[in-house]
Amino acid sequence: MSALAERDITIDSFVDAGAGSLARDVRSGLGRPPGERELQPKYLYDEHGSELFDRITRLPEYYPTRCERAILNRQAPGLVETTGARELVELGSGTASKTRALLYAMAGAGALDRYVPFDVDPSVVENCAHELTDLYPGLPVHGVVGDFQHHLGHVPAGERRLIAFLGSTIGNLLPSERGAFLAGVREMMGPSDRFLLGTDLLKEVGVLEAAYNDREGVTAAFNLNVLRVINRELGADFDLEAFEHVATFDPGPSWVELRLRARSEQRVSIPGADLELTLAPGEEIRTEVSTKFTLDVLARELASAGMELEAFFTDPAGMFGLSLAAPV
Ligand code: SAH
Ligand code: TRP
């Protein structure tokens, strides 16, 4: 039998194949008055966007991935032991590069029953299902291609699950979305499940802003990629050269805001969204927020969602936080 035939991979898809929701979201986000225009971050991640993101995680300025990896490498065996987890569900799994420490610890404890990667980008779910079944022959992988703001109900049922949401992806949700998301996670949890949440922590502004303004311009290319997606999917004619990447920290909401700023007046036609747009010179479109947390805020928000913080780990310098929460 070939190695391929022995793989135990299932992939369910819940994202609509057409550009329907993109068209709706672009219409409602860009159709707003100047100063309020925005796009949703999930559209940054097509295949090219996911590749650029993977490069971001290796940039010298982008400390969160390194710090979170260090925490996971160190804490994974203990986490597996204290939670008694037998299954790993990973929301926004991407390349799952840091998750391997958890899978390794689970396999070492003889407790790796299944891995469930969940991501909006089908290419990363497929790639990671194949890579992980190479690493762990016989590992059942049940991938879900879906939107974690809408499709958590489609995560396969299970027990003793560790539901991981890493990379501070939760920080890319707006506060109201964050509350709804956490409530959704709580709803899918049984008493034996645990939630593992990675969050970037509040720190010196210079360090925060540098992480999103790398010298190589990879973050800028990632940000601009959303315009490329809209051009391709909706037949739009955004000129990528005419926009500048902007990322600044706003202490009010405690987030780094990513925006695209028109260098000059832009007339853009987006036929797939039935939208004609004029942007004034200097006008900005918000593409993403990256919220920076404190332990207090995390404990409070988890509690509001019906979860109790059981443990909180950071790297030695306190840059990044990993929370372990149980349903109450
Ligand atoms: N967990 C990885 C990747 C983080 S990047 C890490 O820590 O490095 C965020 C990931 O979430 C991307 O793979 C992106 O495709 C996915 N994502 C973004 N918005 C999503 C949504 N609404 N639903 C599901 N996945 C989403
Ligand atoms: N969630 C991570 C963060 O907020 C990764 C990320 C999402 C990111 N979008 C980004 C990193 C844009 C750089 C640029 O940091």
What are residue 123's phi and psi, to 5 degrees?
A: -65, -40
Q: What is the pTM of this model?
A: 0.95
Taking the C-alpha atoms of residue 111 and residue 125, their distance in angstroms, rounded to an integer, is 22
What are residue 197's phi and psi, to 5 degrees?
A: -120, 120
For residue 269, is it left (φ>0), alpha (ψ between -120 and 50) or beta? Answer: beta
Q: Say how many Å lie between the CA of residue 117 and the centre of ligand 2.
A: 19
Judge if the beta carbon of residue 199 lies within 6 A of ligand 2.
no
Over residues 238-278, the pLDDT tens digits come to 999 999 999 999 999 999 999 999 999 999 999 999 999 99
Q: Choose the residue to mutate in 53, 174, 197, 215 for probing ligand 2, maximizing ligand atoms within 8 Å of C-beta.
A: 53
Tokens 């706003």, located at residue: 250
CA geometry: angle 63, 65, 69, nearest 5 deg: 120
Taking the C-alpha atoms of residue 10 and residue 95, their distance in angstroms, rounded to an integer, is 17
Q: What is the pLDDT of residue 1?
A: 46
Q: What is the pLDDT of residue 41?
A: 87
Q: Say how many Å lie between the CA of residue 250 and the centre of ligand 2.
A: 15
Judge if the beta carbon of residue 54 lies within 6 A of ligand 1.
no
Over residues 176-193, the pLDDT tens digits come to 999 999 999 999 999 999
In DSSP terms, 169 is beta-bridged to none
Which residue's CA is minimally distant from atom 22 of ligand 1? 147
Q: Say how many Å lie between the CA of residue 176 and the centre of ligand 2.
A: 19
Judge if the beta carbon of residue 64 lies within 6 A of ligand 2.
yes
Q: Choose the residue to mutate in 16, 54, 119, 177 for probing ligand 1, maximizing ligand atoms within 8 Å of C-beta.
A: 119
Taking the C-alpha atoms of residue 294 and residue 217, their distance in angstroms, rounded to an integer, is 29
Over residues 156-179, the pLDDT tens digits come to 999 999 999 999 999 999 999 999
Over residues 191-223, the pLDDT tens digits come to 999 999 999 999 999 999 999 999 999 999 999
**C-alpha distance from residue 26 to each of 39, 262, 277, 278 (Å):** 6, 17, 11, 14
Tokens 């006008």, located at residue: 283
Q: Say how many Å lie between the CA of residue 181 and the centre of ligand 1.
A: 14
Nearest to 91 by CA among 40, 37, 153, 23: 153
Nearest to 158 by CA among 187, 196, 188: 188
Q: Which domain holds residue 263?
A: 1-328
HSE value, Cβ hemisphere, 13 Å, CA-based, for 174: 9
Q: Say how many Å lie between the CA of residue 211 and the centre of ligand 1.
A: 18
Taking the C-alpha atoms of residue 240 and residue 245, their distance in angstroms, rounded to an integer, is 10
Strands 320-327 and 194-200 turn out to be antiparallel
Contact criterion met (CB below 8 Å) for 230 and 27: no
Count of domains in the chain?
1
Q: Coil, helix or strand for 216?
A: coil
Judge if the beta carbon of residue 46 lies within 6 A of ligand 1.
no
**C-alpha distance from residue 278 to each of 28, 238, 245, 265, 266 (Å):** 15, 11, 19, 7, 6
The CATH code of the domain that includes 88 is 3.40.50.150
Over residues 2-39, the pLDDT tens digits come to 455 579 999 999 987 555 689 999 999 999 999 999 99
Residue 314 CA, chain-centre distance (Å), reads: 19
